[in-house]
Amino acid sequence: MRRLLIQTAIATLAFTSSAYADEQVRTLQPFTAIDSKGAYSIVVEGGKTQSVKLSGTDKFIGNLVTEVVNGELKIYHRDGGGKNANGDPRIIITVPSLVKFIGEGAGETVLKNMAGERLDVSYQGAGRFAAQGKVKLLRLKAQGVGEVDTKDLAAERADVNFNGIGNVKVSASDTLNAVVNGMGNLTYYGKPRHLNKTVNGIGNVNAGD
């Protein structure tokens, strides 16, 4: 009887594990840009061989679309964003070079080891976005109530357009062009030599160092 109970428990655990946690690696055409929509965590690391790995439930993975169109990886969920996905759905991406990222949703997005002449970022939602690396030009458009932290992304020039009530951190060593609309807070680092700022509303632009 005891052996039967143990075997039943093991079988139940195995079924639960397969139902709530799985991984899949997808082979895709080369891309240098990403457009993601949904409520899941994404980690993108530059300077490495391209790969796309999904982690989550069978349902999440089965309904997640990843397709490359004109050099841009589009990521979206067939049910409208995967808002009710169980577990901890994640997408881990490595890519030799990334020049543009578009994100919309409520998850956490992290860009690591970004490098190059220019990086364009457009982020909208109630999640958290962070980026790290070094680029000459950062063009950042942020909208929503989330947190955008690019303090560790060292840019020579940063053009920032922020609409919302969240917080944005940015780093620029030469020039910062900042436009803040609404109630948001923009904190800049790097002690830029040239600062051009426009604030519409009760938001603010302040130095962080």
pLDDT attached to residue 35: 98
What does DSSP say about strands 185-189 and 204-207: parallel, antiparallel, or unpaired?
Answer: parallel
The domain segmentation of the chain, as residue ranges, is: 21-207
pLDDT attached to residue 192: 99
pLDDT attached to residue 125: 87
| C-alpha radius of gyration, the chain, whole number | 20
How do the pLDDT tens digits run along the chain, 209 residues long?
545 444 444 444 343 344 446 999 999 999 999 999 999 999 999 999 999 999 999 999 999 999 999 999 999 998 765 555 557 899 999 999 999 999 998 889 999 999 999 999 999 988 899 999 999 999 999 998 889 999 999 999 999 999 988 899 999 999 999 999 999 999 999 999 999 999 999 999 999 98
Residue 8 CA: distances (Å) to CA of 5, 14, 18: 5, 10, 16
Q: Which phi and psi (to 5°) does residue 167 adopt? A: -130, 140
Q: Which of 183, 50, 39, 207 is nearest to 199 (CA)?
A: 183
Q: What's the CATH code, domain 21-207? A: 2.160.20.120
Residues sharing a CB contact under 8 Å with residue 2, sequence separation 6 or more, in sequence order: none
Residue 105 CA: distances (Å) to CA of 57, 63, 125, 129, 158: 19, 16, 5, 10, 24
